[in-house]
A and B are shown apart, each in its own frame.
Chain A
Amino acid sequence: MRDRLFIIIAGAVVGLLAVVLVLQGNPVNMGFCIACFIRDISGALGLHRAGVVQYIRPEIIGLIIGAFATALFVKEFKPTGGSSPVLRFALGMFMMAGALIFLGCPLRLVLRLAGGDWNALIALPGYVVGVWLGTIFLKNGYTLGRSQEQSNVNGYAGPFIAVILLILLVAAPAFIFFSEEGPGAMGAPLVLALGAGLLVGVLAQRTRLCTMGAIRDIILFKDFHLFYGFAAIFVVALIGNLLTGYFNPGFEGQPVAHISTLWNFLGMTVVGLAAVLAGGCPMRQLILTGEGQGDALLTVFGMMAGAAFMHNFGLAGSPAGVSPAGQWIVLISLIVLGIIGLGNSKLLSGNK
């Protein structure tokens, strides 16, 4: 009962901070969007040159460091790694690909829904279908194999990178790209964004809040524990948006969104499936990175590379919709994810 209250509080804080961050300058319905923010960091580092989405987002830094500090404090910091690193990198790439087709990670899906963006209403069942497909593999013995304990240096790598990013953000040297217009130029003040990230990092580490686990555990075990957190994000963000005038129901003209029904649906199917196979949604991967899991850090690197791939080759969705090449990427993603799922489960005879 205490656990349930705690995860509801954590979800409520995420929803509240998301509204506050938008009021303080973040793009609308993007108080938190882990995929978007990692994509922005990719751009800031010059990995892609989409000029409107380049910014070192303090929220990401805060999430990793918040989780790291908490894990150290409660003695849950445990450097591990070595469980299918190549596949984890690939799963990160696909997770980002799907998110950039829909234009949002699962967390932003909830926030878009709370802002009255009905395209998210199309994407939500797509996401559930993706997670459900993933659970079929899980029920049939899907695993990426055991991780091994590693040296502390491995575990400190993620938090160290977060600190480097913070230094680059504050120092703002000329080789770092910062958008001058578009979503990348919109951001809450550094201290607020960093503080919000830190607080959510602490809460998410303690509660294991995960937007994929919320759906997965219901399908697998009829366990609603994580879903309470997921629902709390929605309810509080909805109330916040209603109170602040950011609830604008409709399909068209939604901020950083498009109205291609099929691709909104399938984009999130890709994210849901990839997240199950990778063992966590984009936010959860950041938290696990803070706890010292090298496998999660590799997934984050995969997301950064995926963002670069999607933007450099013009595959990402935009308010104009999804390009034909982007549509192909969705189909290719589903096929490759299917192969990863099949190849690591007992669905095909011959797998060990």
Chain B
Amino acid sequence: MPETVDCRGLSCPEPVIQARQALQQASGGTVTVVVSNTVARDNVSRAAKSMGWQVAVEEDGDDFKLSISK
């Protein structure tokens, strides 16, 4: 089941904490994380990669949609 974590308007480290929790629960498949600033985009991407996931970033208006998969 594709899961979406909405982190718009939140600043780090909250998006990273939420994304990590979601990734730990999902353990596989695809998790979508939406963030609204570049710091969160970079930090969530780095955290996900360090946990062995792959990250695809897509700009969505002023936000960023991160498709994280394993």
Contact = CB atoms under 8 A, between A and B. Distances in A.
B39 A139 contact: no
A179 interface: no
A146 B35 CA distance: 11
A143 B14 CA distance: 7
Interface stretch (A40-48, A76-84, A155-163): A76-84
Given A78-B37, A208-B39, A221-B47, A147 B13 contact: no
B38 A76 contact: yes
Interface in B8-22: 8-14, 16-17, 20
A146 B13 contact: no
Given A208-B39, A221-B16, A221-B47, A78 B62 contact: yes
In the complex, which range does the number of interface residues on chain B fall in?
10 to 19
A133 to B, nearest CB: 15
B47 A143 contact: no
Contact of A138 (B17, B37, B46, B50): B17
A149 interface: yes
A148 interface: yes
B39 to A, nearest CB: 6
A143 B10 contact: yes
B11 A147 contact: yes
B9 to A, nearest CB: 3
Contacts of A217: 13
Contact of B13 (A76, A78, A216): A216
Contact of B10 (A146, A216, A220, A221): A146
Interface string B38-51: 11000000110010
Interface in A111-166: 138-139, 143, 145-149
Nearest to A80: B9
A78 B8 CA distance: 13
B17 A220 contact: yes
Contacts of A197: none
A279 interface: yes
A139 B13 contact: no
Contacts of B10: 143, 146-147
A146 B16 contact: no
Contacts of B11: 83, 147, 279
Contacts of A213: 12-13
A145 B9 CA distance: 8
A193 B37 CA distance: 30
Contacts of A80: 9, 36-37
A147 B17 contact: no
A208 B39 CA distance: 8
B1 to A, nearest CB: 23
A148 B47 contact: no
Contacts of A149: 36, 62
A294 B64 CA distance: 21
A76 B50 CA distance: 25
Q: Which 6 A-B pairs have the closest CB atoms?
A: A146-B9, A147-B9, A279-B11, A76-B38, A143-B14, A146-B10
16 contacts: A76-B37, A78-B37, A83-B9, A138-B13, A139-B17, A143-B10, A145-B9, A146-B8, A147-B10, A148-B9, A149-B62, A208-B39, A213-B12, A220-B16, A220-B17, A279-B11
Interface of A: 76, 78, 80, 83, 138-139, 143, 145-149, 208, 213, 216-217, 220-221, 223, 225, 279
